[in-house]
Amino acid sequence: MTGLPALEAALQRDLALLQYPKRAWVPERTTPDGQPILDVLIVGGGQGGLATAAALRREKVLNILVVDRNPPDRAGPWLNFARMNTLRTPKHLTGPDMGIPNLTIQAWWEAQHGEGSWAQMGLVPKESWAAYLAWYRRMLDLPVRAETELTALRWDDEADAFAATVRHGGEDEVLHARRVVLATGIEGSGDWHVPSFIADALPARRYAHTRWDIDFDALAGKRVAVLGAGASAFDNAAVALERGAAAVDLFFRRDKLVNVNAYRWAEFVGFLRHVGDLDDATRWKFIRKILRMGQLPPTDTFERARKHDAFTLHPSSPWTAVRDTPQGVVITTPKGEHTCDFVIAGTGFITDLSLRPELAELREHIVLWSERYTPPAGEEHPDLARHPYLGPNFEFLPRTGDTPWVSHVYNYTFGCLLSRGFGGASISGMKYSIPRLVGGITRSLFAEDSDAHYQSLCDYAVEEFQ
């Protein structure tokens, strides 16, 4: 065998060689009316959800389910709204592979494109990352229910488990689970955000957020203004230019583009593995600094837009107001006014658990950083203050003692950044964050079932010899 079949055979052998300990160990549970209770429900079938499921199965926590609202193998941004050509992170970042070489994206790529092909590649094409994740799901036979959305989550005292309402094909169903992992994406602890001065002033036909569906062909020959200088702002500017926009003007607050990537600095063991172990003040200091250093487009993304004559950068040009006129959208900046036909908001997302419908019944019980830490004057950061104050294994912490079950929900979204560093919603942190997340879940289940395990020890009577 050669190519992918050979790799797949080698991978199956790796998995067989690494099976110890083999025994499934989590006692089965049902509700008082006999409904099955999952050990773990994972919400989100992207890289985070899949890697969590894979690692749990490796720890023989087998009664699990992943739900995702998208069609099969179309979770996350990659095939939906990501408008870059390649990943932004360097290709050598490993993460979902659990340390198994034959499960890495490099092995998968080389098995298909031949030896040396990886060395020749710059960054990983985004479609290839999505295809790798689909292969990963298939190879590990992960239980993913697609086109299934978690709409509500509440604690069911009688079942001693969560009741999770999921919608599939217009039908609602209630699943029960002992533990829940929210791997709901980069915006999973809040939502994508259009500043109100834009949303309140312009009709819907005049603007869009980079996360939204945009009819770029309809922008051919038009004047487009982009607010923001992060990677998505540049990606969308480039697509508008490639589709024939007459002019694309990109506006940003700083006096020059960020050109140093704090995320590349952060990719070393100490930070990735242990920033979450530091005290509150030090964590706040590090993460606030990283966010204030700012986001930037990868070089090729920057060049992709800059090569167009119709592209103009506007530094030191925060928008102070916009208004809709018959001539177009008039944008006011400290440098004057600019008129365009369409606005693209590259304004990212905000953290705010109250924006998550699925958490409507839980959020009042969840501790936030604003309740645990007050930064020194001048070091405030409103969005970080809204981050959930997570425990050592990404679990939410209860605001009061009478809702201990809050800690049975694990936040593996970007909302974990301040508490745990690079965890959910980034490839960079997966190598260390997945084992920490899964280790917390197995510890919590074992501790909760320790009486049952002790009883099984007392009942253990397998004779070694006759």
Chain positions 18 to 57 lying near ligand FAD, rule: CB under 6 A, are 43-49
Query: Cα dihedral angle (348, 194, 362, 181), rounded to 10 degrees?
Result: -30
**Candidate residues 8, 14, 149, 267; the one interacting with ligand FAD per rule CB under 6 A:** 149
Q: Is 351 in the site for ligand FAD (CB under 6 A)?
A: no
> Distance (Å, rounded) from C-alpha 154 to C-alpha 164?
7
Strand 247-251 to 409-411 pairing: unpaired
Q: Which of residues 425-454 bind ligand FAD (CB under 6 A)?
A: 425-428
- Least distance between ligand FAD and beta carbon 191 (Å): 10
- Per-residue contact string for residues 352-381; x = within reach of ligand FAD by CB under 6 A: ------x-----------------------
Q: How many Å separate Cα 339 from the centre of its chain?
A: 35
Which pair of tokens denotes residue 262? Answer: 């704090």
Query: Closest CB to ligand FAD among 44 and 388?
Result: 44
Q: State yes or no: residue 185 binds ligand FAD (CB under 6 A).
A: yes
CB of 91 to ligand FAD, least distance (A): 10
Interatomic CA distance for residues 236 and 56, integer angstroms: 37
Q: Considering just the CA atoms, what is the radius of gyration of the chain in Å?
A: 24
User: Residue 86, SS3?
Assistant: strand
Cα 235 to the center of its chain, rounded Å: 19
Using the rule CB under 6 A, is 69 a contact of ligand FAD? yes
Contacting residue, 232, 347, 411, 433, with ligand FAD by CB under 6 A:
232
Q: Does 183 bind ligand FAD (CB under 6 A)?
A: yes
Beta-carbon contacts of residue 141 (< 8 Å; ≥ 6 apart): none
Nearest distance from C-beta of residue 227 to ligand FAD, angstroms = 16
Q: Residue 48 CB, nearest distance to ligand FAD (Å)?
A: 3
Q: Among residues 85, 46, 97, which one has the least CA distance to residue 69?
A: 46
Which of these segments, 70-78, 338-346, 388-396, 453-461, binds ligand FAD (CB under 6 A)? 70-78
> Which of 409, 407, 412 minimizes the C-alpha distance to 51?
412
If binding is defined by CB under 6 A, does position 228 make contact with ligand FAD?
A: no
Positions 78 through 107 that interact with ligand FAD (CB under 6 A): 82, 87-89
Give the SS3 label for residue 55: helix
Q: How far is CA 315 from the centre of its chain?
A: 30
Nearest approach, Cβ of 462 to ligand FAD (angstroms)? 41
Binders of ligand FAD: how many residues, by CB under 6 A?
31
**37, 54, 66, 67: which one binds ligand FAD (CB under 6 A):** 67
* Interatomic CA distance for residues 212 and 200, integer angstroms: 17
* Least distance between ligand FAD and beta carbon 316 (Å): 26
| Contact residue for ligand FAD among 63, 128, 184, 351 (CB under 6 A) | 184
For the bound state, the minimum distance from the C-beta of residue 39 to ligand FAD, rounded and expressed in Å, comes to 19
Q: Could you tell me which of 70, 85, 181, 180 has the C-alpha nearest to residue 127? A: 85
Q: What 3-state DSSP class applies to 417?
A: helix
Of 26 and 430, CB closest to ligand FAD? 430
For residues 407 to 426, the per-residue mask of contacts with ligand FAD, x marking binding by CB under 6 A and - elsewhere, is: -----------------xxx
C-alpha torsion 251→254→259→264, nearest 10: -100
Is the distance from CB of 281 to CB of 254 less than 8 angstroms?
no
Q: How far is the CB of 3 from ligand FAD (least distance, A)?
A: 26
What is the nearest approach in angstroms of ligand FAD to the Cβ of residue 348?
A: 9
Nearest to 381 by CA among 418, 426, 354: 418
Nearest distance in Å: CB 87, ligand FAD = 3
Angle between helices 430-448 and 47-58 (to 10 degrees): 50
Applying CB under 6 A, the residues found at the interface with ligand FAD are 43-49, 67-70, 75-77, 82, 87-89, 149-150, 183-186, 232, 358, 424-428
